[in-house]
Amino acid sequence: MGLIEQIRDAGVVGAGGAGFPTDRKLNCKAEVFIVNGIECEPLLRTDRHVMEQNADLIVKTVQEIGAFLEAKRMVIATKEHYEDAVDALQKAAAGTNVELHLSKSFYPAGDEQNLVYCVTGRTVPTGGIPLDVGCVVSNVSTVLNIAEAIKGQPVIEKMVTVGGSVANPVTVSCAIGTPLSKLLEAAGGAVGDCTYIVGGPLMGKMTDDLSQSVTKTTGGLLAIPKGHSLLTKKMQTDRDATLARAVCSQCSMCTQMCPRNAMGLNVQPHKAMRALAWNNHELLGDVNGVFSCCDCGVCTYYACNFGLKPSKAMQQCKASLQKQGVKPVKEVKYDVDGGIENKRIPTERLLHRLDIKRYDVDAPLAGFVEADVVRIPLRMHIGGPDEAVVSQGAHVTKGQLIAKPNGMGANIHASIEGSVSSVTDDYIEIRKG
């Protein structure tokens, strides 16, 4: 069986992003293969642990993928201060054709398009993908999942950092479908009355529902005390448009600090704010730049001194344009900003600005979190939900195929052995034993 079929069978999707099916992404030829081990968001620790623990296997797999892509360069990118991971990778890559790219600690260093620019000097056009400039980018956990796929092992486990206001921040592994509450227990529980962020502090989603499951793309669970300013920023309110009208001074600091704008992609959140404020899309000007917003949150969480939410305005504008059928035009509007390096936001400064520096602590590996019941979502990837191929009452073994894509998607496998206790349109629940 070829590499693409092995990846497809194993149900590998992008582990660090929206869950794009990896067999589709890698089914091409590319000049440069970049492995993203940057861990874009602060407070998360999974990438560095994955690299420390599996450096040899990662380098070997990168060579296999690189050979398949016929890549001239294979580059593993990580942050220079992940010293243990860097040591392990340097030893593993010594004497091979795999390069390391060591980045300073800034946000969003792990943004795919930023990474392509930093490694190759090329800018991915608006409406385009890295392959448009000869690159394929995969998260380091995805590469590890590909290594397992080559051995015939499907994706059934995930490594997750549990941090924030918890008794003992940890990084644990667990079966896909494990409830978030189990992970919180492994960290000794929350300290104080908290709301939770699934993912990183900037791009993660808020929830109070810890019965939610770990998916193939979950990277973090952060407990944040209720009332913390970070949560206030994350809340969408129906006053956002009113505030934009009343408070936004059109100073354009959000646009000046936007990392995608600095790459010449004409991303202008201040114009999205005025369009939102006056409910007039014509005020957006050149709409194409809206499609290059990666929702990194720099404009909202760092740039705007008035506490406004230009990134939310951008999301709204993008959704509205998509609803109207507007498609992005592939272009790089301007040259890269000559001052791009000076616009990098040091992670340390971002942590202070978000008032979460106190949570920037080690989250050591703490083993495997067992679950007696897993609820495996049928949608852990871009595309529609999978179709279950097992029924309630069936006995399933660990790693058995339980759902198949219906169009775009990825195979889903049982993450524990047991009996299927429920099959719905949204998930398959399995009980141990």
Q: Which of 195, 212, 311, 316 binds ligand SF4 (CB under 6 A)?
A: 311
HEC per residue, 191-253: CCCEEEEECCCCCCEEECCCCCECCCCCCEEEEEECCCHHHHHHCCCCCHHHHHHHHCCCCCH
Q: Is 207 exposed, middle or buried (0-12, 13-18, 19+ CB in 10 A)?
A: middle
- In the complex, the smallest distance separating the C-beta of residue 403 from ligand SF4, rounded to whole angstroms, is 33
Q: Which of residues 191-250 bind ligand SF4 (CB under 6 A)?
A: 248-250
Q: How far is the CB of 256 from ligand SF4 (least distance, A)?
A: 8
Per-residue contact track with ligand SF4, 281 to 310, x per CB under 6 A?
Answer: ------------xxxxxxx---xx-x-x-x
Taking the complex as a whole, the smallest distance from the CB of residue 87 to ligand SF4 amounts, in Å, to 33
Q: Which of residues 313-352 bind ligand SF4 (CB under 6 A)?
A: 314
Residue window 241-280: x/- pattern of binding to ligand SF4, with contact defined by CB under 6 A: -------xxxxxxx---x-x------x-xx--x-------
Least distance between ligand SF4 and beta carbon 355 (Å)? 19
What ranges in 70-208 are assigned the alpha helix state H? Answer: 83-93, 112-120, 140-150, 180-186
Q: Of all residues in the chain, what percent are helix, strand and coil, respectively (each to 5)?
A: 35, 20, 40
Structure tokens at 226: 């209720």
Q: How far is the CB of 136 from ligand SF4 (least distance, A)?
A: 22
DSSP state, 95? T
Structure tokens at 367: 């083993």
CB of 235 vs ligand SF4, minimal distance in Å: 16
Q: Which residues pair with 78 in a beta bridge?
A: 37, 102
Residue 294 CB, shortest distance to ligand SF4, in Å, is 5
Cα separation of the two ends of the chain: 33
Q: Which is nearer to ligand SF4, 215 or 347 (CB)?
A: 347
**Which spans in 346-411 are helix H?**
347-353
Tokens of 24: 């589709």
How far is residue 153's CA from residue 84's CA, in Å, rounded to a whole number? 27
CB-wise, 38 or 273, nearer to ligand SF4?
273
Residues at the site binding ligand SF4, with contacts judged by CB under 6 A:
248-254, 258, 260, 267, 269-270, 273, 293-299, 303-304, 306, 308, 310-311, 314
